[in-house]
A = this chain, B = another copy of it.
Amino acid sequence: MATINDVCKLAGVSKATVSRVINRTGQVKESTRKVVFDAMEQLNFKPNSLAQALASNSSNSIGLIVSTFHGNYFGALLKQAAMLAEQAGKQLLVTDGHNDPLLEIEAVDSLVARRCDVIVLYSRHMSEQDFIALKQRISIPIVMINRQLQDKSCYAVCFDQLHATQLAVNQLLDMNHKQIACITSPLDSPTGLLRLQGYQDCIAQHHIPTNPALIAEGGNTIESGYQACQKILLTGAPFSALFACNDNMAIGAMKALTEAGLKIPDDISVISIDNEAASAFLTPPLSTVELPIEAITDSAIKTALALADGQKVQAGTKEFRGKLIVRDSTAYLRKK
C-alpha cells in the first residue's frame, strides 16, 4: 500500500506539501497541487487514518455503544447515528455492549483505546455510580442515552418513561377499564422499574388496588410476552385490559390471548410502548406509545459532536416524551 513517501518521490516534493494537499491546509501552488494529486491518483494512495490520528492527536471519530445489535429499535438508532456522524465527517465506531454492565465497560475501554474523540453509551443496566466512576476514569467526554442521571454534570438524554407509561395506562383507564394486567420489561433495569412504577401509580391514582396476579415479568421479546400472558391467564384473575411494556411483548401476549379464545379488543384491550413498524399491521392494529428514537439519537449525537469539537455544552439530562397512538386493539369497556 502506497505511503506518503511514495507520493513524495513520484511528485518530487516534501511530505509537508503532500500533507497540505491531502488536508487542503495552507497554501499550495496550483501547479504543484496538481502534480501531487496526479501522483496520489497514480499510486492509488489513501492516507493511513491511523497515522493521521496519531500525528494530529485526533481520531476524528465518535464511539457508540448499543445495548445489543438486535431489533428494530437499535437499528433505527444506529441508522440515525451513522447518518449524523457522516454528515459531520466523523467516523462512527459502533460496539455491542451485550446488555451487560461489565461488558459495557469493556466496550468503553476498547473505544478509549482507539482514542475516540467522544463516546456515546446506550446503557440499560449500568448503575449511575458506575457510570460516574467510568466518566472520571476515562479522559474522553461521554454522553449517556436512556438514563435520567441525578448528577447534573453528566451529559445524558432519555425518555420520560413515567409519562410514556401514563399515556398508555391512562388510555385504558379512560376507557373505563379497572382490571388491568401488566407484562413488565426486565425488572433489573431502571427502565423496567420505571414503567412498572408508572403502571402502579396510575392504578393507585384511580383507587384501584394492585393485584399481583395480574403482573408478570417479561424479557422484552415476543416469546416472553407470550409466556408472561399465559402465566397471567393461568391465575384465573379476571382482567379486561393488558398493558405490555413494549410492542414485542404485546405481540406475544395477543397471540396467547387469541389462543385462549379471547377477542381483542372485544374481550381484552391491549396497549404497549414502542410503535414498532409491524404494530400498525397486526390484527387488530396495536395501540401503543411512540418513542422519539430519532430525536433522542439526534440530541445525543449532536451533543457528542459539539463536545468532540471542544465546544461548551450545557450539562444535565434532556428528557424526551412519547406520543400516544390509539389503534384498534383498545376499546371502551362494555357494560355487562
CB distance from A288 to the nearest CB of B (A): 14
- Confirm or deny: A177 has a beta carbon within 8 angstroms of a beta carbon on chain B: no
Q: Are A44 and B281 in contact (CB under 8 A)?
A: no
Asked if A79 is at the interface (CB within 8 A of a chain B CB), the reply is yes
Are A68 and B72 in contact, CB atoms less than 8 angstroms apart? no
Known contacts A226-B281, A278-B278, A281-B252; is A49 also within 8 Å of B79 by CB?
Answer: no
Residues of B within 8 A of A112 (CB): 46
B109 close to A46 (CB less than 8 A): yes
In the bound complex, residues from chain B placing their C-beta under 8 Å from that of A69 are 75, 78-79, 82
Out of B68, B76, B222, which one reaches A277, CB within 8 Å? B222
Interface assignment of A16: CB less than 8 Å from any CB of chain B: no
Chain B positions within 8 Å of A59 at CB level? 50
Q: Is the CB of A48 within 8 A of B44?
A: no
Asked whether, in the complex, the Cβ of A49 is within 8 Å of the Cβ of B113, the reply is yes
Tell me the A50-91 residues at the B interface (CB within 8 Å): 50-51, 53-54, 59, 68-72, 74-76, 78-79, 82-83, 86, 91
Query: A105 an interface residue at 8 Å Cβ cutoff?
Result: no
How many angstroms from the CA of A92 to the CA of B114 in the assembled complex?
A: 12
A207-263 interface (Cβ within 8 A of B): 221-222, 226, 248, 251-252, 254-255, 258
Q: B residues within 8 A CB of A153?
A: none
Chain B residues with CB below 8 A from A137, complex form = 44
Q: Determine if B79 and A96 form an interchain contact, defined as CB atoms under 8 angstroms apart.
A: yes
For residue A229, give the distance in angstroms from its CB to the closest CB of chain B. 11
How many of these chains are in the complex? 2
Category for how many chain A residues contact B: 35 or more
State how many angstroms separate the Cβ of A255 from the closest Cβ of chain B.
Answer: 5
At the interface, yes or no: A189 with Cβ under 8 Å from chain B?
no
Interface of A is mostly: helix
User: B79 touching A70 by the CB < 8 A rule?
Assistant: yes
Q: Determine how close the nearest CB of chain B comes to the CB of A157; give it in whole angstroms.
A: 19
Within 8 A of B (CB), among A101-116: 109-110, 112-115
Neighbour of A258 across the interface among B113, B278, B283, CB < 8 A: B283
User: Is B68's CB under 8 angstroms from A71's CB?
Assistant: no
A51 to B251, CA, bound (A): 49
Tell whether A12 is near chain B: CB-to-CB under 8 Å: no
A54 to chain B, nearest CB (A): 5
Which 9 pairs of residues, A with B, have the shortest CB-CB distance? A69-B78, A82-B96, A49-B113, A69-B79, A255-B281, A70-B75, A50-B50, A94-B94, A50-B53
Give residues in A with beta carbon < 8 Å to B: 1, 44, 46-51, 53-54, 59, 68-72, 74-76, 78-79, 82-83, 86, 91-96, 109-110, 112-115, 137, 139, 221-222, 226, 248, 251-252, 254-255, 258, 277-278, 280-283
Enumerate 23 A-B pairs (CB-CB under 8 Å) in ascending A order: A44-B137, A46-B109, A48-B115, A49-B114, A50-B53, A50-B54, A68-B79, A69-B75, A69-B79, A70-B79, A72-B72, A72-B75, A75-B75, A78-B96, A79-B96, A82-B96, A83-B96, A94-B94, A221-B277, A254-B281, A254-B283, A255-B281, A282-B282
